[in-house]
Structure formats: C-alpha cells, structure tokens
Amino acid sequence: MNEKILVLDFGGQYDQLIARRVREHHVYAEIKDYTGISLDEIRGENYSGIIFTGGPNSVYDETSPHYDPAILDLGIPILGICYGAQLMAYMAGGTICSAEDSSEYGKTRVSVRPGQLFAGVPDESICWMSHTDYIQSAPDGFTIIAETSKCPCAAMQDPRRNLYGVQFHPEVAHTEYGTTMLHNFIFGVCGCKGEWKMDDFIERSVSRYRSELKGKKVLLGLSGGVDSSVAAALLYKAIGDDLTCVFVDHGLLRKDEGDFVEKTFKGRFGMNMIRVNAEAHFLEKLAGVTEPEQKRKIIGEEFIRTFEAEAKKLGKIHVLAQGTIYPDVVESGKGGSATIKSHHNVGGLPERMDFERIVEPLADLFKDEVREAGVKLGLPDELVYRQPFPGPGLAVRIIGEITKEKLDLLRDADAIFREETDRGAVRMPNQYFAVLTDMRSVGVKGDARTYGYTCALRAVDTDDFMTAQWSRIPYEVLERASSRITNEIGQITRVVYDITSKPPATVEWE
Ligand code: XMP
C-alpha cells in the first residue's frame, strides 16, 4: 500500500492547495470532508499523516465543525492549520480567544523556536495569516513554538503524540518557509518516503472507474481542449468501448483543429468518437448576428441541442463524464461537483438529460497536474500544452457578422501568427491569436489600390486570465507575421498589434 496523507476538510478555502502541496512532495494526498470519514475508517486506511484544514468558523460556534477528539490519540501525526490548529487545541483542552483587535490578515512576521517542524526555518520570517480567533493557551502536553506580535501561540507542538498546529498558512506562497515546514511534517514527522507519481494517480483512477463504471455506458463531450481530452484518455483506459466521446465541430475552430482532434482520438487511440460536423447549421443560426452576447447565446444553445441530438441516437447512457478540473470547482463554489457548469470548456452541457451520475475524474487536479497526466496517458504535446481556446471559438474573434469567408481568412491569419510566435518568441505568451476586425482600410499592392480587412494580433502574459498584460513579443516576430499575413492572404491589407492589458480590455475581443 502506498503512503498517503489525509486532508481533513473543515470548510477551508485551501484544502485543494494543501493536497497539491503534499503531492508536490510525491506523497499522495486525499481530501475528505470531516463529515465524510469516521474514526474507524481513518484507522483502517493506514494514513501516514493527517492535516486539518482551516475553516471560516469559530470553535465555540454551535454549528462549527468538530471531530471526535480520539483522533488525536490514533498514533497518526497531525498538522492543524489555522482553524484546524484551533480545533486541535480545543479538543486537547486549550483555550481559544476571539478578539477583533487581535485579528491578523496577510503577511505577518513570525518568530519560531527550533524543532522538528521548523528545521531549516530561520528564527524570524514572513508567514500568511488570516484569522480572528487565536489559541490563547496551549493545551496540556503542548508547547508553544512560534509567536507573532499579536498572536501568543502562532504554532504549538506535542511531539510525544506527533501533533502540530500552526495558526498561519504554510501552504500559500506568501509564507516564506511554508514549503520547508510541510516538507518537515511530511518527511520528518510522518516519515514518508515520497514515492508517489502521477502514474499512481492514473492507476488509482483507472482501477476505480473500471469497477465503478462496470457495464455502464458513458458519454463525454470532447472539446479538443486539454481537460476534456485528458478525461477522455483516462476513462478510455478504464472502460474502453463503453466510453463514447461526442465532438461537436461547430465550424468555429482553428485551422485543422477538428481533423487533429479526430485523428488523435479516433486514429491514435481508436476511441468511440463521434464528430458532428455542424458548421453549416451553426453558420445558418449565426447569419446576420453582430451582437457579441447574442452570438455566445446562440452558440451555447445550439451546442447543447446538437449534443443532445447525438446523445439520443446512442440509446441509454448511464453516466455523463466531464473534464472539470479543480479551478472550475472553485469558481462554481464548493461541492459543485454534480452541477453542470455553463463555463465548462465544452460550452455548457444539457441540464435536463437523464443520467444516473456525473463523473469528473480530474476534479482534484490543477491545470499543470492535468497536463502531466495527459503526457503520461500518451496524448500528443500539441494537445497537452495548447493554449486556452474559448468555447464559442472564432465567433468571438470576428467582429461583426460571421461568414464562412471571414472564418477562413481568420483561420489562415491565426495559423501564421501562431507559427511565427512559436518560432520566434523568447518567452511564450500564455495566449496568442488573431482577430478579424470589421474594419476595412485602403492599401497598395504593386501599383494598384487595395481595400481589405484589418487583422489584429493579440498576445497576453497572465497567471490566471483574470488579469493580463499585453505581451512584449519581439518586433521581428510581429514583422514576420504581418508581412506573411498581408502577402499570403489577399483580403487582409493591414495588421495591428493590440497593446491593451486586462483590465480595461478583456483577452478576447468579444
Ligand atoms: P476574457 O476575454 O474574459 O478571457 O478576458 C479570459 C480567458 O477565458 C477564455 N474565454 C472563454 N473560455 N468559454 C470558454 O471556455 C468562453 O465563453 C470564453 N470566453 C473567454 C479566453 O480565451 C481567455 O483564455
């Protein structure tokens, strides 16, 4: 049995981040809600350690989450974080205090005493605090091992039982030595070896879904984006032909994208994949529409109807699979795993369909972990490392009415810009694409006057796409892209580069 750590969730914001930090140390971490696992079950699971997460409550609130204090005597090392530390102190008989003027929020100087948890941590450093309540006195058997100017017990330990509590958040990057502390807990206190790899996650998921989905027909909406592709590859490994992927090609994809997706999944993996060529249908619905929100609405609606019609043809489907990843779960609020989200990368799936259950195999993973899983599952790099592409596709990159002619022009211009950026950028922007504006302007070719479209190039650097900087890509790249676009695509006579950050602009033009 591989070593693993239990992240016992008391309603904190950072439960997944904690699990991820543990996984970064090559130890598997699983999250359980505090109501979702009994003491006996914990005993039976052979955990190497337990981490109590933070949470918004005060331990004295009637409704605040609590756990059987016997957990402290299981002989399993425990690290309590924030509310988790207060709860540990409370369970062990310490006193928790609530005082508004003692609350701390943000970067805070902390002094620590030497010990196992703080090996390699200097006496003074910066930690991330976010609390109103604090531990006033450490329980019997515990000693205080850290303090801040407002918090007399910023950390405590009972080394005899391997119990540790920290008032601050070691899992967030703002805590300078947070990684060291977690490392000390995982290896020093829990005695883990750190042998877990992404392969283990894949193996674990494959065997789980193989038994849970035995004899069930599963449907997955494939967008060609990273998340749904990795989910498809994982489930295919588990259940093979019981999985059917439906790929709705709305005709608003990038150059050769539809063929690439089909070649990968049908050709390379041999999956049951249905490609619905719905370009003509979508273009008909979009004819004459210029208002961005209306375009999005039409595409979203048609996407669902097309998907539904295909699903119906397949007969009884028991399970809907989705490529939801952890950041999607956060955006939709906790516990949203059974809701079908409208922002999902396949464009929002039907809500009224009759499934027994929804399966989201990647719901615990962050984007880079999903990519790692994709590589391990044998997906091509082009697919695994592709930049984000919006559900409504090129429709939100063509200003004004959408026509087949404009789509083809944009596809060519976009392919050239991406090719030149891939070739010449010193640092890759996080997203880079072309936009076809609705503006025409005068140009000259040979001795003749031209009158053609203006194409805008857009490239942004960003961590989270909530804010973004326009990317300082080399002039030479812009020059080559501009020259190739105007030479190779007759109807485009002018190329401009978008130098607006987000905010005030958005990444997409519509
Ligand atoms: P904006 O334009 O909102 O884009 O600054 C931020 C990021 O989200 C992507 N985007 C979408 N993705 N469906 C999607 O799946 C959409 O409707 C959609 N709109 C924008 C955009 O490409 C960028 O990465």
When pLDDT is averaged across residues 164-180 and rounded to a whole number, the result is 95
Decide the pairing of beta strands 124-131 and 104-112. antiparallel
Q: Pick the catalytic residue: 104, 151, 153, 171?
A: 171
Please report the pLDDT score of residue 350 as a whole number. Answer: 59
* pLDDT tens readout for residues 93-117: 999 998 677 788 889 999 999 999 9
Is residue 351 annotated as a catalytic residue, yes or no?
A: no
Which tokens go with 330?
A: 């956060």
* pLDDT tens readout for residues 29-73: 989 999 999 999 999 999 999 999 999 889 998 899 999 999 999
C-alpha of residue 501 to centroid of ligand 1, in Å:
15
When pLDDT is averaged across residues 470-490 and rounded to a whole number, the result is 97
Cβ atoms within 10 Å of 138's Cβ, excluding its own? 22
Instruction: Assign 3-state DSSP to the chain and report helix, strand, coil percentages, each to 5.
Output: 35, 25, 40
Mean confidence (pLDDT) of the chain: 91
Is residue 151 annotated as a catalytic residue, yes or no?
A: no
Is residue 356 annotated as a catalytic residue, yes or no?
A: no
Whose tokens are 């515990």? That residue is 142
C-alpha of residue 390 to centroid of ligand 1, in Å:
5
Task: Grade residue 150 by pLDDT with cuts at 50, 70 and 90.
Answer: confident
- Name residue 109's beta-bridge partners: 126
Ligand 1 binding pocket, CB closer than 6 Å: 345, 388, 390-392, 431, 465, 502, 506-508
Nearest CA to ligand 1 atom 11: 390
Nearest CA to ligand 1 atom 4: 507
Please report the pLDDT score of residue 353 as a whole number. Answer: 66
- Name residue 98's beta-bridge partners: 133
pLDDT of residue 79 exceeding 90 = yes
Q: What percent of the chain is modeled with pLDDT above 90?
A: 78
When pLDDT is averaged across residues 455-467 and rounded to a whole number, the result is 91
In terms of Cα–Cα distance, which of 314, 348, 313 is closest to 332? 348
pLDDT of residue 335 exceeding 70 = no
* pLDDT tens readout for residues 352-392: 667 888 899 998 888 889 999 999 999 999 899 999 999 89
In terms of Cα–Cα distance, which of 306, 333, 297, 280 is closest to 221? 306
Residues 6+ apart with CB under 8 A from 423: 477
Nearest CA to ligand 1 atom 3: 506
Question: Strand, coil or helix: what is 238?
Answer: helix
Residue 301 region, left (φ>0) first, then alpha (ψ -120 to 50), else beta? alpha
- Name residue 115's beta-bridge partners: none
pTM for this model (two decimals): 0.77
